[in-house]
Structure 1
Amino acid sequence: MSQGLETKNLTLSYGASTIIRELNLTIPQGKISVLVGSNGCGKSTLLRSLARLLKPQTGAILLDGKEISKQPTKELAKQLAILPQSPEAPEGLTVIQLVKQGRYPYQTWLKQWSKEDEEKVQWALEVTQMSDLAHRSVDSLSGGQRQRAWIAMTLAQDTDILLLDEPTTYLDLTHQIEILDLLFDLNEKEGRTIVMVLHDLNLACRYAHHIIAIRNQTVYAEGKPEDIVTEQMVREVFDLHCQITEDPIFGTPLCIAHGKGRNLLLSAS
């Protein structure tokens, strides 16, 4: 039986600095999980480790009960894909060449480019609205267009698990919603497990089935947004005073921050 992605006593460090300590975490299968927390709390570090981009100091990361550190790279790449922060493409690489890189795990000496590979690439370009830019060089695109090109490459990899570090970076509000709606549809229609780092807590509440709040090198709280996103949680995780109300459209928690400047104006009035 599939056991999904989990950590066992995971400790992550950069040099002498411990970022995550003895973490036991299970990622809900077939759900959208969002990692939230203040800058530098370890969200991106944890996501990178889940993709085997960062070696644990101690502990292990398991996929279906097997340590990912012991799995062949190509086999692991057929099961999970990651979009890191601010990826860079070689100069002159076109969008379609970049997206085709997502099919690399499926290529062997005996099995070269196939009709299925082509279909996956074209689908990824279409759903990210990059088809018309397929033959443009990646370095000639706007920040938002580049981000969508990288997301297309990740989707072309066609994995059951998607790990995305701030996938809405550089996108305007319209394209942020389009990308998050796309990921939501992938989860709803195909049951893909999605783990994201998002900075916008309100968008996290709107799209996540499961929120994981990171603080002090471990998980401060995790669960459904409506269960864990409270004024106390926001204060202790983000050092921010706020009011939590209900989103009038989606019924999810809506965080209204108490801006210091605005508070001063109110107190003086």
Structure 2
Amino acid sequence: MLSFKNVNVSYHSDTILKNISLDVPSGRITTIIGPNGCGKTTLISSLNKTADLTDGSIVLEGIDLTKISSKERAKLIAFLPQIRQVIPAIPVKVLVEHGRFPHLGFSRRKTKEDTDIVNKAMDFTGVTKYSDMYVNTLSGGVRQRVFFAMILAQDCDTIILDEPTTYLDIEGQRNFYNMILSLKKQGKTVLLVLHDISKALEISDKIVVMNNSEIVFNGTPADCIESHIIEDVFSASCRRLKDEKGEYFLFE
């Protein structure tokens, strides 16, 4: 289990996270939703940048992530940020191989196991056919899958995704959500931030609602709907709809 314990983050005089405590169950999908600026990205980014914590701890399977190096954290947690400042002009396979760096020894030589893991990640995300193409020449949707393959090549049990579908078209979003559900079937723990509330309720085992730097709800999608917290936080009413394909949520 991944646990945030009394986590606080402040920049200068601004409080970004206020006494956050959260347990993320293993092998499940947990989704954080909330208005812009409420602290969602800061919370999940604190897994990668533990030095930003002004107080509290983050523990994964008994290991305090604030006490280990970034390389050791990268063996435990794979993190896909929303924004990447630089798109590298390197072949796709080379970028995906970067995901193995935390596991390589001093010589940085890849083993057959490393190669197999990279190939598996590329097959899973459907980017094998782009292996020799340069990342900076790809469309935004394909590029996102390439970066996803890179973090999957870290071969971690815990995967963190910040708005992974923001720049994808409808088909790309559907494929990405299917990959997330497949990861759950593989026993992976997935923690993600989404703006699409309806999809968050549809695919998640647990919903976390943030507002004003705090967690204001933490529970199942069904309990989230029943609590009316979405109406309070987003000023939107929610209706639950069903058809032969499943359950849907409509916000008005």
Which TM-score band applies after superposition, normalised by the shorter structure? over 0.9
Q: Counterpart in 1 of 2:141? A: 144
Runs (5+) with no aligned partner, structure 2: none
| Distance (Å, rounded) in 2 between the aligned partners of 1:8 and 1:130 | 38
Verify: 1:241 aligned to 2:236, yes or no: yes
Which amino acid counterpart does residue 169 of structure 2 have in structure 1?
A: D
Relative to 1, partners in 2 of residues 1:9 and 1:141: Cα closer, same or farther, differing over 3 Å?
A: same
Please tell me the residue identity of whatever aligns with 1:93: I
Per-residue deviation, 1:67: 1.8
1:39 paired with 2:36, answer yes
CA displacement at 1:161 relative to structure 2:
0.1
Q: Write the deviation string for residues 52-95 of structure 1: whole angstroms up to 9, x where unpaired.
A: 35521111111223321111332221111100112244542121
Matched, 1:71 2:68: yes
**Aligned counterpart, 1:98:** 95
Contact kept in structure 2, 1:52 and 1:68, CA below 8 Å: no
What's the offset of the Cα at 1:213? 0.5
1:15-164 to structure 2, matched below 5 A, reads 15-52=12-49, 55-89=52-86, 91-109=88-106, 112-164=109-161
Helix, strand or coil for the counterpart of 2:52?
coil
After TM superposition, give the deviation of residue 133 of structure 1 in Å.
1.1
1:261 is matched with none
User: Could you tell me whether the CA contact under 8 Å between 1:244 and 1:254 is conserved in 2?
Assistant: yes
Once residues 96 and 180 of structure 1 are traced to their aligned partners in structure 2, the CA distance between those partners, rounded to angstroms, is 23
Cα pair 1:231 1:243 within 8 Å, conserved: no
> Structure 1 residues 204 and 174, CA, compared in 2 at 3 Å: closer, same or farther?
same
User: Which segments of structure 1 move beyond 4 Å, counting only runs of 4 or more?
Assistant: 249-253
Question: What does the per-residue CA deviation read over 1:109-168, in whole Å, with 9 as the maximum and x for residues that have no partner?
Answer: 267201111111111111111111111111111111111111010111110000000111
Counterparts in 2 of 1:180 and 1:248: CA distance versus 1, 3 Å = same
Displacement of 1:228? 1.0
Map of 1:229 onto structure 2: 225
Aligned to 1:267: none
Summarize the Cα distance change of 1:241–1:110 in structure 2 as closer, same or farther, 3 Å threshold. closer
The structure number with the bigger radius of gyration is 1
Of the two structures, which has the highest relative contact order with CA contacts closer than 8 Å and spacing of 6 or more? 2
SS of equivalent residue, structure 1 residue 153: helix
Instruction: Give the letter aligned to residue 177 of structure 2.
Output: L
Q: Which runs of 5+ in 1 are unaligned?
A: 258-269
User: Would the aligned equivalents of 1:231 and 1:242 in 2 still touch at CA under 8 Å?
Assistant: no
Q: CA deviation at 1:231?
A: 7.6
TM-score, normalization by structure 1: 0.88
For 1:100 and 1:111, locate their aligned partners in 2 and report how far apart those are by CA, in whole Å: 11
The residue number in structure 2 matching 1:254 is: 249
The 3 A distance-change label for structure 1 pair 247 and 199 is: farther
Q: 1:98 to 1:250 in 2, by over 3 A?
A: same
Q: Percent identity?
A: 35
Q: Which amino acid aligns with 2:193?
A: V
Q: Contact conserved, 2:40 with 2:193, CA < 8 A, in 1?
A: yes
1:251 positional shift: 4.8
Secondary structure in 2 aligned to 1:78?
A: helix
Q: How many pairs align?
A: 252
